[in-house]
Amino acid sequence: MFRANPEHTGVYDNGGIEPGNTGLWRFTTGDLVVSSPTVANGVVYVGSEDKNLYAIDAVTGKERWRFAARDRVTPSPAVANGVVYVGSEDKNLYAIDAMTGKEMWRFATGGWVYSSATVANGIVYVGSVNNSLYAIDAVTGKEKWRFATGDYVDSSPAVANGIVYVGCKDKNLYAIDAVTGKEKWRFVTGNWVYSSPAVANGIVYVGSGDNNLYAIDALTGKERWRFTAGDRVISSPAVSNGIIYFGSRDKNLYAVDALTGKEMWRFAAGNSEGSDPAVANGIVYIGSEDKNLYAIDAMTGKEMWRFVTGGWVYSSPAVANGIVYVGNEDKNLYAIGTNSSFLTTVPTTIPSTPIPSQVTDAGNPTPRATTAIATTASMIAPARQTTQPAPLQYALPMAIVVAAGIVIWKRHEDLF
């Protein structure tokens, strides 16, 4: 599910395989892919602003099925017990058979669903912009309880030790009993909380628009410490081996000590506030609006490699079996994996003829292209800490990308 597990630590069990910087394949949808992919049982599930949820073979990049919602699908799907749960701007949370793509049930909320669903103990937890957090029976789709907040709930709820933690635009982080829906405590920040909380070792970590990352006692709601970045913290933190990783609008990825809040290092990754960091095998992966997916040593903060995509990486990466999966504003889902020559470029070509995907169970006859890609000199930049200016001939394409990024931000700015 989003952030890998119900606690939202952002740590992926990757089987000890370290992904390299080779483009293995890309899958093209009909619109922007800001949804973060989820990998389960050899299938990648991801939403698109073309209103579809896609199921894609994790190895080949071939489409297995697509499910048509009534509006854009921007949250990350959650997969549990053979069912995919995902929300949409059509105000519904859907339960879809993971094998066939057939709808099992839908739950109507009162507003757009940007919150990524979390599944724990047979219950689906999800927020809505109608100022509510819902608990829904994972099998029947029946509401178990609803918790009213003071504003939009775009944050994805984290669940740990019988408590649901979720941020809200009303500036609060809420702790709610997972069974009864009763509030246990709330913690007030200085601005909206779009960040999704992460829970580890009795502490809740969450960012706020007030430029702070907070560490809060999971039982009492008391502040342990706060770390002040140079701009707002939309990024959802990752927690691994006593270190918290998170991005800020100040264009840095930070690593801070989980107990003290002391900065360990920072990495200049461009504006990566939309893409949340993922950790696997001692490497932190994060996307940026500068078109790069970065792989950074988790202990030192040194760049190991970067992979250049075709647009702003707003999606958060997921890691499985030696492959990093991430969506992009260029309408693609990328699969990036092991490069046997490691950090070297091997000139190859992208096939000029797209490979059509199979017709889907959802009944949409329009084919999408799955294109196999491999590392080229233009796709892999050498490891370095700063981004070099682009040549003049790329000024117009870059301007178009920047304009597209502004459109995306404006489209969602009502959430902030």
CA–CA dist 210, 229 (Å, integer): 9
- Report the pLDDT averaged over residues 90-100: 98
Give the tens place of pLDDT for each residue, 157-206: 999 999 999 999 999 999 999 999 999 999 999 999 999 999 999 999 99
Which of these ranges, 30-34, 158-162, 285-289, 336-340, has the smallest mean pLDDT?
336-340
**Is pLDDT larger for residue 344 or for residue 191?**
191
pLDDT at 391: 38
Which positions ≥6 away from 370 have C-beta within 8 Å?
Answer: 25, 26, 27, 28, 56, 60, 61, 62, 63, 354, 355, 356, 357
β-strand partners of 147: 133
pLDDT the model gives residue 146: 98
Q: Per-residue DSSP letters for 338-358?
A: --TTSS--------SS-EEPP
Confidence at 64, pLDDT banded by 50, 70, 90: very high
Q: Nearest CA to 50 among 67, 37, 25, 26?
A: 67
**HSE (side-chain half, CA atoms, 13 Å) at 379:** 23
DSSP string for 230-278: SS---SPPEEETTEEEEE-TTSEEEEEETTT--EEEEEE-SS-SSSPPE
Report the pLDDT averaged over residues 335-350: 47
All residues at 6 or more sequence positions from 146 whose CB lies less than 8 Å from its CB, including other chains: 132, 133, 134, 135, 181
Residue with tokens 């990466």: 317
Give residue 406's pLDDT.
45
pLDDT digits (tens, 9 = 90+) for 15-46: 667 888 899 999 999 999 999 999 999 999 99
Strand spans (E) along 102-241 = 103-108, 118-120, 123-128, 132-137, 143-148, 158-160, 163-167, 172-177, 183-188, 198-200, 203-207, 212-217, 223-228, 238-240
pLDDT at 220: 98
Six-digit token string for 372: 């196999």
Note if the pTM is more than 0.75.
yes
pLDDT at res. 341: 36
CB 301 within 8 Å of CB 286: no
Residue 365 has pLDDT above 70, yes or no: no
pLDDT over 70 (residue 401) = no
pLDDT at 18: 80
Report whether pLDDT(394) > 50: no
Give the pLDDT confidence score for residue 271 in this predicted structure: 78
Question: Could you give the percent of the chain with pLDDT greater than 90?
Answer: 77
Which range (16-25, 106-115, 334-343) has the least confidence? 334-343
Average pLDDT, the chain: 85
Q: Does the structure show a pLDDT above 70 at 388? A: no
DSSP reduced 3-state for 285: strand
Q: What percent of the chain shows pLDDT beyond 70?
A: 81
- Residue 292 sits at φ, ψ, to 5 deg, of -100, 145
- State whether the Cα torsion 150-153-159-160 is positive or negative: negative
Res 363: pLDDT? 34
94, amino acid identity = Y
Q: In what order do the strands lie in the sheet with 369-372?
A: 318-320, 323-327, 332-337, 22-28, 369-372, 355-356
- The class level of CATH for 22-415 reads mainly beta
Q: What is the pLDDT of residue 15?
A: 60
Cα angle 180, 182, 186; round to 5 = 145
- Give the burial class of 59: count Cβ atoms within 10 A of its Cβ; 0-12 exposed, 13-18 middle, 19 or more buried: middle
Report yes or no: 141 and 106 within 8 Å, Cβ to Cβ. yes
